[in-house]
Amino acid sequence: VIYSVAFELVMLHFWSFVTQHFNVLEGKRIFPVIAAGSSVGYILSGVTTTLVAFFATEPLILVWAIGSLAAAYMSVRLERTLFRP
């Protein structure tokens, strides 16, 4: 129960921050991308939780680190296309 409440508070805070950061036109273009990324994250988290039973912890930490670097790289690359002048 506490996890659900904390998760909802984090999501409310996140979307409050996002709506203050973007104007209406930017929001119409960027919010679907953010929501799609959230859905992909939910799916991948379900897949990775099943992998924990089959693999040791160390390889999963390496996969997490590589995924974090890939996400950082993609966010830098996508910044050019999402924030057009």
Q: Give the model confidence (pLDDT) of 42-62 as tens digits.
A: 898 888 888 788 888 888 889
Q: What is the DSSP letter of 22?
A: S
When computed from its CA atoms, the radius of gyration of the chain, rounded to whole angstroms, is: 16
Sequence spans of domains, the chain: 24-82
- What pLDDT does residue 10 have? 92
Residue 14: which of 26, 2, 28, 31 has the closest Cα?
Answer: 31
Asked if residues 81 and 30 have their Cβ atoms less than 8 Å apart, the reply is no
pTM of the model: 0.55
* Main-chain phi, psi angles of 83, to 5 degrees: -105, 70
Q: Is it the case that residue 74 has pLDDT exceeding 70?
A: yes
- What pLDDT does residue 85 have? 58
What's the rounded mean pLDDT across residues 6-24?
A: 90
